[in-house]
Chains A and B, each alone.
Chain A
Amino acid sequence: MKIPEKFIVALLALCAGLTILVTAGVLYTLASEAIRFFSEVSIVDFFTDTQWTPLFTEKHFGILPLLSGTLLTSFIAIFFALPIGLTIAIYLNEYAPRSFAFRIKPVLEILAAVPTVVYGYFALTVVTPFLQGFIPSLSGFNALGAGFVMGIMIIPLISSMSQDALYAVPKAMREASYGLGATRFQTAFSVLLPAASSGIIVSVILAISRAVGETMIVAIAAGMQPSLTANPLVPVQTITTYIVQISMGDVPHGSLEYRTIFAAGISLFVLTFALNNISFWFKKKYQQKYE
């Protein structure tokens, strides 16, 4: 039997259209539960209260401690990943032989392929005890170890996107710089980096977005105590860890505690959505510069 081709195309379109349903599902899920949450908790308190204690008898629903934990661990991750990732990008693009650069790229990708629970284990059992040797006041769960390991995970994200950005800089600019007697180092930092800056910024924003949404590393190694602090040596709780903490326990569906995970979820969604779209906008706006 021959299936009419129109039917096949319709089926393919249906599968593609399903992705719209996924987005709709995410928005519906988060919004519907979050609206119920905010009918019980004032939205002003949610953004201004400095305590997050939904499971205590004296309940506070301030997202700030979770947000600060999220931003702190992400910032530490970027702090380690950006210099290393960017140096790798420059090295592979300007110094390393082509064949080496070509071969090492998939190897670096392995860093992003390791399951995040595994990284969490390393942060807790290897990195933190090692750091405690230098910083005795470092607590067993902390943002520093978790952030550092998260940084290792996002190195390939920054290095491969920055490498693409550096590669896109026209050859003429590079040759002009060499023609004036500049070294590779000078060319990289005075000509290529400024020229590729928009692409590098895009890679950093996407890396932040990735770090903000990361869950298992921080759940294992950063602790479960929401606190509004910028101190990397003490336990913190991120938005994602809070969702994990509640999901591991037995919270009845329909309770206010159950809804808090959706309120936390929508905050996380808005944050990553904003970051991703800033990066798309940035890419679009500055990409055509040299074409």
Chain B
Amino acid sequence: MNRIQTNRIKDKAFQYFGVFCTFFGLAMLAVFVLDVLRKGIHRIDWDFISNLPSRFPEKAGIFTALMGTCWILILTAIIAIPIGVAAGIYLEEYGKRNRFAAILEINITNLAGIPSIIYGLLGLEIFVRIAGLGQSVLAGALTLSLLVLPIIIVSTRESIRAVPRSLREASLALGASKWQTIWNQVLPAGGGGILTGVILALSRAVGEAAPLIVVGALAYVPFAPSTPLDEFSVLPIQIYNWVSRPQQGFVTNSAAAIIILLIVTFLMNGIAIYFRSRWQKKVKW
């Protein structure tokens, strides 16, 4: 066998290895998902979703955790979306060439790299203690808002950057002011991309457990929160709590709760990908 043949074989072998690697992670994920379905699907019924937590695995449900997750999702959306989008607009449209913007930019890149648990420590000190919110769902939502802010800012900037100059110039030429141009032209045109970023950010918030544990979300809450200042738990923390117990019944419960959590996350990511592809198709300037 000569060198050319050896090289061709190596080339071909690497190609197969490439296919293998590409699907390796996904295959692992598939194995995991099938495993969790096998262990947990039979546990999911209306009682499981509507029952309060319990010491007995077969009576325990995820109602309080699910409600906590809904509260966190809604409050985080209310707090983080306006601030993140506004900051993104400022950085992309107004703060192009000043020093303040340069500092902001470096700062946001760094914020995106801070581990989520550090945000938990921040929330514990600032929101829970100094602001006196206690271990409430509001303190948790504020903490997660800060965590997802960089994601929303970056995706807002990228989406409005993709809006072509011609659209802006046409609007300005018709006598619209800069803000009118942004509000009436740039934002609607970039809306799909911003929405994608926002959904991905919220999906991240739904799956987070570590910062909320630090802020003081509890593993056991007898009732679902009824005001933003109530104590709370969320699905990921409920899963963490169940998975660390020795009884098999609770491990089954955690598998069932994981199925619910995965449905929520995959649904949100699916919607985000759908919006992104639709937006990319529609916008061909």
Query: Which A residue sits closest to B242, measured CB to CB?
Result: A121
Complex Cα distance, B243 from A212, in Å, reads 23
Which of A18, A206, A248 sits near B87, CB closer than 8 Å?
A18
Is B179's CB under 8 angstroms from A9's CB? Answer: yes
Chain A nearest CB from B203 CB (Å) reads 7
Indicate if the CB atoms of B239 and A243 lie closer than 8 Å.
Answer: no
**Distance in Å: Cβ of B208 to nearest Cβ of chain A:** 8
How many chain B residues touch A (CB < 8 A): the figure is 88
Q: Which residue of the partner chain A has the closest CB to B241?
A: A248
A16-B90, A117-B236, A253-B129 as given contacts; A185 in contact with B21, CB under 8 Å: no
| Contact in complex: A243, B90 (CB < 8 Å) | no
| Nearest CB on B from A12, distance (A) | 4
A215, CB-defined interface residue at 8 Å: yes
Q: How far is the CB of A46 from chain B (nearest CB, A)?
A: 17
Contacting B18 at CB < 8 Å: which of A5, A29, A88? Answer: A88
A20 near B104 (CB under 8 angstroms)? yes
- Contact call A19/B87, Cβ cutoff below 8 A: yes
Contact with A along B178-196 (1 / 0, CB 8 A): 1100000000000000000
A272 at the interface (CB under 8 A from B): yes
**Would A19 and B90 be within 8 Å (CB), given that A212-B115, A216-B210 are in contact?**
no
Which single residue of chain B is at the shortest CB-CB distance from A181?
B4
CB-CB under 8 A from A13, the residues of chain B are 90, 94-95, 100
Decide if A262 touches B209 in the complex (CB within 8 Å): no
How many A-B residue pairs lie within 8 Å, measured between CB atoms?
Answer: 254
Residues on B with beta carbons closer than 8 Å to the beta carbon of A280: 109
Those of B1-59 within 8 Å (CB) of chain A: 7-8, 10-11, 14-15, 17-19, 21-22, 24-26, 28-29, 31-32, 35-36
Q: How far is the CA of A67 from the CA of B116 in the complex (A)?
A: 18
Interface on chain A toward B: helix, strand, loop, or mixed SS?
helix
CB pair B115–A19 under 8 Å, yes or no, is no
Stretch at the interface among A49-57, A102-110, A168-176, A195-203: A102-110
Q: Given contacts A19-B108, A84-B21, A113-B265, list 11 more A-B pairs with CB under 8 A.
A: A13-B94, A111-B26, A111-B29, A118-B36, A121-B258, A155-B25, A186-B7, A213-B117, A262-B125, A273-B114, A276-B113
Give 15 A-B contacts (CB < 8 Å), ordered by A residue. A5-B179, A9-B94, A12-B94, A15-B90, A16-B153, A84-B25, A92-B22, A111-B25, A118-B207, A118-B239, A118-B262, A185-B14, A214-B115, A240-B115, A273-B113
A interface list, Cβ under 8 A from B: 5, 8-9, 11-13, 15-20, 22-23, 25-26, 28-30, 32-33, 83-84, 87-88, 90-92, 95-96, 104, 106-111, 113-118, 120-122, 124-126, 152, 155-156, 183-186, 188, 206, 209, 212-216, 219-220, 240, 243-244, 247-248, 253, 261-262, 265, 268-269, 272-273, 275-277, 280
